[in-house]
Structure 1
Amino acid sequence: MDPFAGLPDTSVLTGADLTEGYRRDESHVVGDPPLAVVKPRSAAALRELVRRAKAEGFSLVPRGAGTGKAGGCVPTGRAVVVDMGAYPGSIRISKPDLALWAPASAMLRDVKAAALAEGLFYAPDPNSWELCAFGGTLATNAGGPGACKYGMTRQWVLAVDALMEDGEVHTFGIPSVKCNVGPSLGQLLVGSEGIFGIITGATVRLVPAPRERLTLLLPMERWHELLDLPARLVEAGYLPSAFEFWDPAVLQDLRRFGPEAARRMPGEALALLEFDDRDCGSEAFLEGLLGALGDQGEHAQTATDARQREALWAVRRTTSSHLKERFPRKVSEDIVVPRSRIREFFGALEALGLPTVTYGHLGDGNLHVNLLAAGETPREELDRQLLELFGLCVRLGGALSGEHGIGLAKRDAFERFADPFQVGALRSLKRALDPVGIFNPGKVVLP
């Protein structure tokens, strides 16, 4: 009997020609062929999916737009991919509550645009914000350049709607910043990568949209001098809404092979700073900022209009895809190091002699360390290099992932470096919330 026959309000894809693309996301991980890909369009469809998963012994792997970079949405074993792209609902905004509700199927770009249309701002901005689904950003606790000032997705979530193991969609939380009725199950679901249930929608908080922006391109003649600037700016009372950087190797490759705008970028290394404070466009603000930057601010270039700003950001946002095209088998790790220890990290990285190039979010210590030769490196040697990198991060008080999550790509390393109590607690939570183990098994931690 066909286990997918008669599913209500659902489109079903079977056969390798239709499901092959669902074995991958934007990571290097390739999953197993799924039994099927289903696209539910109602809570009734989800309810029946849970019933059949339990009866037939298959798992449910949630998927948004497939832009994740940790293998979190790829199927393993006897799995059905649950593509949430057709799940119903329209974006709703409550200005008095400074809150927005959207279904998991909404694109993040549309969520952000809906808020801006009302003069409001939803801050989370992963680099894939134009391509990723809202639900995926919730499941992975997505970050981005704006996390420097505004934090990760988790900090913006008020309530979560999720399909749980009883087959029902539950709402955890209310559309208010104050709700203190015990531990928050909604917050537990954010960043859980679908191992406890499937997020179907969420209410997030908004703030008034920034009215001004100041964007600076900061070339550095000696790139290591850049590493102290995040801490120096904070000490001087300046908190950028973004502080991005390119190390010398990445910048050199962009100049040689990147888009035209990148080929004119100056300096041995380069930073992109942005501020959205009130009056950040004033001469007084700029003078104070340049004073805080000291000698490093002498060659700063200011984007004077929206077109110049967008051109600068376009280069930053396409850096990952540029390197992927140039080095298709590279491995990119999104490690995080405390701001106070960034210089120490790069000194230790040089001492290890690992063949890496780095760019990313210097303002919050989230560094995208790329091993460009990974495809030509023997697996045993590559694993050794990654373990050295992860071990360095942990020793400095950092973490294996700053924004992409664990998924399959970092599961083994996470279990090796995490506090054993933390791993055990996650396993206990998994068993409590998903006793049959139907939701995205094998991700983050093994049973």
Structure 2
Amino acid sequence: MDVLKGLPEATLLSDPEDLEAYLRDESHVRGTAPLAVVKPRGPAALRELVRLAKAEGFGLVPRGAGTGKAGGCLPTARTVVVDFSQWPGEIAVSPQDLCLYAPASAPLRDVKAAAEAHGLFYPPDPNSWESCALGGTLATNAGGPNACKYGMTRHWVLAVDVLLEDGEIHRFGISSVKANAGPALGQLFIGSEGIFGFIVGATLRLAPLPREHTTLLLPVKRWSDLLDLPGRLCGAGFLPSAFEFFDPAVLAELRAHGPEAARRLPGEALAILEFDERGCRSDAFLEGLLDLLGPVSEGLEVATDERQRQDIWAVRRMTSVFLKERHPKKVSEDIVVPRSRLREFFEGLERLGCPAVTYGHLGDGNLHVNLLAAGETEPGLLDTQLMGLFRLAVSLGGTLSGEHGIGLAKREAFLALGDPAHIQTLRSLKQALDPQGIFNPGKVI
């Protein structure tokens, strides 16, 4: 694209072979060939990009590491991909303020490591935490197992630096937990998938690093015994830092085709529970937990050291990758239902007759429902199955996405099932912040 050739502080890609890599993320959807890809290295590039987008009538699509699962970073018609992998900046930790600053390009693994080097903790831990970029986690409000106790990414953001439609970068928020000078506008951009503006950096809240962990592998003889457990634990004052699960169908896949460690997994269904509060390794804590679990605790295994803990988590971390490699055309959804209605959800899923395997974050009701045969399913039937799944979650007081976002993959369902007032409010904000519609067009709304 000729108008981009003189772009300052940027790398420009326009060869079709180079652009091909930008048509996919980790979702099941595919983007449209972009006009070009720009890798900005400074604010001058962004300023000129915004000016050209408004003058020439093309859109701008943000991209981090491309690990998203909803097509939010994929190009649509007449767009330029803005790849933030070369965006400058260093991670700077302030132990006194219990926060750190990082550019959008920083790998999440480096953000977490920088905090830990100071004895501090940044909790968000999506499954892609070793490969994703911070900017993508902010744009999608990423979650992960730790959200069970610590909440989503948005709970840990103090301030954001955002490119707006005037071409300038503006900061929303300060480096403190107390900031009450009007509504917290910075939160508007967390989870917005770039439709209002592009996050280029953020100040993140930190917590003291947990010093103790108790990690338990809990096989159950009856799958249904797991479904009331999250609510029972929380009601009794036990809040796990993670509560993950595998349903019988996922376990069958892992045992039949997974790595050696997965083939030895016990139980009809299986849970991983982890606690990180002070005293969680004490006999008194474990005795109280076992009393609550009762007969369900038969077969319980407790990790006795860090190696065993990491071995337990390794199987959970590889599950998504394993299923993707074995069923490359599968569709993975991440619906949410309240803890108290988990049993109703699985009863409803059975009534739908939807062929699915399920695993994920049972402790906060965020369930990864995988339709393994999606690639061989007639598109109309697949759409019916997905809409039935989404309607079921919404009918139980949940939602159609817990951590992956809407992007391209769920846009139609979001518009069909969302509260009309919610949709209209989002569109009004979009019009106010991006009147020419240059930021990530065709996504979410």
Normalising by structure 2, report the TM-score: 0.99
**1:310-321 aligned within 5 A:** 310-321=310-321
Structure 1 residue 298, shift from structure 2 partner? 2.2
1:9-34 deviations in whole A, cap 9, x for unaligned? 10001121011010111001100001
Structure 1 residue 414, shift from structure 2 partner? 0.3
Q: Which residue of 2 aligns with 1:42?
A: 42
Amino acid of the structure 2 residue aligned with 1:275: F
Amino acid of the structure 2 residue aligned with 1:95: P
**1:424-435 aligned within 5 A:** 424-435=424-435
Partner of 1:318, secondary structure, is helix
Matched, 1:239 2:233: no
1:355-413 deviations in whole A, cap 9, x for unaligned? 11100000000000011111111111111111111110110000000000000000000
Once superposed, what is the RMSD of the aligned Cα atoms?
A: 0.7
Matched, 1:198 2:198: yes
1:245-277 deviations in whole A, cap 9, x for unaligned? 000010011011111111111000000000001
Alignment partners' CA distance in 2, 1:381 and 1:40: 42
Alignment partners' CA distance in 2, 1:214 and 1:158: 30
**1:155-194 aligned within 5 A:** 155-194=155-194
Partner of 2:272, secondary structure, is strand
Alignment partners' CA distance in 1, 2:352 and 2:62: 38
Structure 1, unmatched stretches of 5+, are none
Amino acid of the structure 1 residue aligned with 2:399: A
Contact 1:214/1:274 (<8 A) preserved: yes
Matched, 1:404 2:401: no
1:157-193 deviations in whole A, cap 9, x for unaligned? 0000010000000000000001011112210000000
Amino acid of the structure 2 residue aligned with 1:41: R
Q: Which residue of 1 aligns with 2:28?
A: 28
Structure 1 residue 54, shift from structure 2 partner? 1.0
Q: Which residue of 2 aligns with 1:124?
A: 124
Matched residue count: 445
Structure 2, unmatched stretches of 5+, are none
Q: Which residue of 2 aligns with 1:381?
A: 381
Alignment partners' CA distance in 1, 2:376 and 2:415: 26
Q: Which residue of 2 aligns with 1:153?
A: 153
Contact 1:290/1:298 (<8 A) preserved: no
Alignment partners' CA distance in 2, 1:45 and 1:132: 23
Alignment partners' CA distance in 2, 1:14 and 1:125: 34
Amino acid of the structure 2 residue aligned with 1:183: P
Amino acid of the structure 1 residue aligned with 2:79: A
Amino acid of the structure 1 residue aligned with 2:438: I
Q: Which residue of 1 aligns with 2:222?
A: 222
Alignment partners' CA distance in 1, 2:56 and 2:311: 52
Alignment partners' CA distance in 1, 2:33 and 2:414: 25
Structure 1 residue 60, shift from structure 2 partner? 0.6
Structure 1 residue 74, shift from structure 2 partner? 0.1
Normalising by structure 1, report the TM-score: 0.99
Structure 1 residue 235, shift from structure 2 partner? 1.2
Partner of 2:47, secondary structure, is helix
Partner of 2:369, secondary structure, is strand
Alignment partners' CA distance in 1, 2:437 and 2:264: 53
Alignment partners' CA distance in 1, 2:338 and 2:280: 26
Partner of 1:96, secondary structure, is helix
**1:34-73 aligned within 5 A:** 34-73=34-73
Structure 1 residue 291, shift from structure 2 partner? 1.1
Amino acid of the structure 2 residue aligned with 1:137: T
Q: Which residue of 1 aligns with 2:300?
A: 300
**1:329-344 aligned within 5 A:** 329-344=329-344
